[in-house]
Amino acid sequence: MEERLNDIEVRVLGVLMEKEKTTPEYYPLTLNALTRACNQKSNRNPVVSFDETTVVRTLDKLTFERDLVKRVMSDDSRVAKYRHDFRESLTLDEREMAVLCILILRGPQTVGEIRGRTERLFLFESLGEVEATLTRLANRDTGSLVTKLPRQAGRKEARFAHLLAGEIEVDEIESTEPAVVEVVAENERMDGLEAEMEQMKEELERLKAQFQEFKRQFEY
């Protein structure tokens, strides 16, 4: 990209990319829904707490200065909704969108973690397919969008990170204490449980919407 994004812009774009695939029935997103999704406690690294004013200002910049977001009005409501134009602006395919999205929302990850966490965005058939996608993103003629980080002490595999907000600062001191390794593993297990809970919540919201639509058919 010609100009790097800030962290808030990256989070907003990542959420729009995610919700387009995981909850298409609610996409484009209202300001309220977008703010709540940005502040989601599961499947987010880091966890943030944006207010609507912050999100609105970011949307204005992404819309009018960067041309990465579009503001639309729904047919049945006067409430503005927002969708991303990221795919078209950067000419990305579905695989590349899925990888970038999960790196934006979950931070640096290994190839295996990327494959496991992109299942709801794109179903990669193999680790090799993920690696090929990362290679394309890293070797774009218009500038790299991802980079491979130095392997951390105590980890078997290197991680990858996005470059939308600029170069990644790698901690100079890595801990290999058993307690730290145990906490990392526990956090990963908790991430998995939180992801399942979030999926159940989204499914419940979808069922509620379907029920309300079914109910409206008998109100006339």
pLDDT tens string, the chain, 220 residues long: the values are: 667 999 999 999 999 999 999 999 999 999 999 999 999 999 999 999 999 999 999 999 999 999 999 999 876 667 899 999 999 999 999 999 999 999 999 999 999 999 999 999 999 999 999 999 999 999 999 999 999 999 877 778 899 999 999 988 765 334 434 444 455 556 556 656 666 677 787 788 888 888 887 777 776 5
Q: CA dist 24 to 17, 66, 67, 135, Å?
A: 10, 24, 22, 29
Residue 86's nearest CA partner among 146, 152, 16, 148 is: 16
Q: Is residue 16 within 8 Å of 58, Cβ to Cβ?
A: no
| pTM (whole model) above 0.85 | no
**% helix, strand, coil for the chain, step of 5:** 55, 10, 40
Domain 92-174 sits in CATH at 1.10.10.10
Count other Cβ atoms within 10 Å, centred on residue 195.
17
- Cα gap 45→194, rounded to integer Å: 13
State the maximum Cα–Cα separation within the chain, in Å, rounded to a whole number: 67
Beta bridge partners of 83: 70
Positive or negative CA dihedral for 203, 207, 208, 212? positive
Domain 7-89 sits in CATH at 1.10.10.10
What integer pLDDT is reported at residue 2 of this predicted model? Answer: 64
